Amino acid sequence: MEAYATALLYAIPFFMILLAVEILYGYLIKNQKHNVQDSVSSISSGLTNIIKDSLGRGVILVTYPYLLDTLAVTEIENTWLVWIIAFIAIDFAGYWNHRLSHKINFFWNQHVIHHSSEEFNLACALRQSISNLLGYFPFLLIPAALLGIPNEVIAILAPVHLFAQFWYHTQHIGKLGFLEYIIVTPSQHRVHHAINPEYIDKNLGQLLCVWDRLFGTFQEELDEVPPQYGILKPARTWNPLYINFQHFWRLLLDAWRTDNLWDKIRIWFMPTGWRPKDVLEAYPIQVIEDVYTFERYKTATSTLFNAYLIFQLLTTTAFLLFMFFNYGNLNYKELLMYGGLIFLGIYGYTSLMDGASYAVWVEVFRGVLGVLIVLITRDWFGLNVYVVWGSLMVSVYFVITITGGIYFTFSKTLEPKNQLTT
């Protein structure tokens, strides 16, 4: 896990630089694809996913090393060939994992956050789940285990394979000629994220588009059908912690409310969006019918508030980078506390973005808690070793958080519009 933390220490700044380039490019060509609140929500979602994965929370049904020891009927010599076969096996497994997430109610919950943004840009690539608590992906790697592909190869390629899916979440790159027949491109992935009837549940491949073409899920981006983004049951919140479990909560309510015992069981495994008939009639949920005219989510904001949100996001990212930098010096209890504080911060400022009445109390609470930790420990998880007056700087941040939470709740300076990044 420490190696994973080290990899993220380098990957996160790289992703942030690419995001900055995309935002700057959109500004220069006067075709901005970023909205401050949406992008802050997206990146914050990515931070929660990184914390959850780095702390190893979840139930692993089976591990790849176990499958390898149990099922291997041969062993491929560790040459360049094993890396190619392993890559194909991971991509094949990724396709079917992705397809399951789109087709089965229970699995959609762990993927819905990735589609929840009503924008399409590099930031939305970071909308990754914290609700994927059931580790079943190794089952999809059975072909690799049968061939005896070493665990070390899978362990190296899997995160590389994931990170390589970042670049094609953009509207600034058109079709790429012959590459459209080989790899997943921005054009193909725009189709995948679209809610147009022509595009729903298409282009499920991750790096290679051959699986979509082979299994009938490929759809070209059509000039006459401009992609519209989001989910058919809109999230209506910037808070990634809510978005992660909205669908699960709806399933739970439907399972509880239906009178049919069989429906209580099968709802979890039915196609995405299926609901028991009695619940569907008694408790209707608004679904987008016209993808071109639906009202996109927006909340009150201002130039100052946008600047404050960017400050919160950058500071939270800095906290996370320090956690990874200092990972080996913190025990597991300290890591859990540190991760929990970051989660609380993201919950606080994204609730403030939503205009939630309780957001100010969350912000005041975490601000006071942060200051108390510094006062009691006279440090911030070892920061003073690396930065002179580091804990003082952290205290100032928490004072700003308290002040900002109160000011933006009661000052009435926010305007009911979504301001684009400039």
Task: Report how far apart, in Å, the C-alpha atoms of 139 and of each of 136, 166, 244 are.
Answer: 6, 25, 24
**pLDDT, tens digit, 9 for 90 and up, residues 373-383:** 999 999 999 99
- Report the alpha-carbon distance of residue 26 to residue 234 in Å, rounded: 26
Q: Mean of the pLDDT values across residues 133-157?
A: 91
Mean pLDDT of 62-66: 88
pTM (2 d.p.)? 0.93
pLDDT at 417: 53
302 burial via Cβ count (<10 Å: 0-12, 13-18, 19+): middle
Poorest-confidence range of 72-76, 230-234, 281-285?
Answer: 72-76
Mean pLDDT of 154-182: 95
Residue 422 has pLDDT above 50, yes or no: no
Strands, E assignment, 103-187: 134-135
**How far apart, in whole angstroms, are the C-alpha atoms of residue 104 and residue 269?**
6
Give the single-character DSSP code of 135: E
Q: Is the pLDDT assigned to residue 416 strictly greater than 80?
A: no
Local structure of residue 174 (DSSP, 8 states) = -
Residue 172 phi/psi, 5° resolution?
A: -90, 0
What mean pLDDT comes out for the span 55-72?
Answer: 82
By residue count, the chain amounts to: 422
Q: What is the pLDDT of residues 184-232, one digit of tens each?
A: 999 999 999 999 999 999 999 999 999 999 999 999 999 999 999 999 9
Residue 294 DSSP code: P
In the prediction, which pLDDT does 176 show? 97
Report the share of the chain in percent with pLDDT over 70.
96
Measure CA 405 to chain center: 25
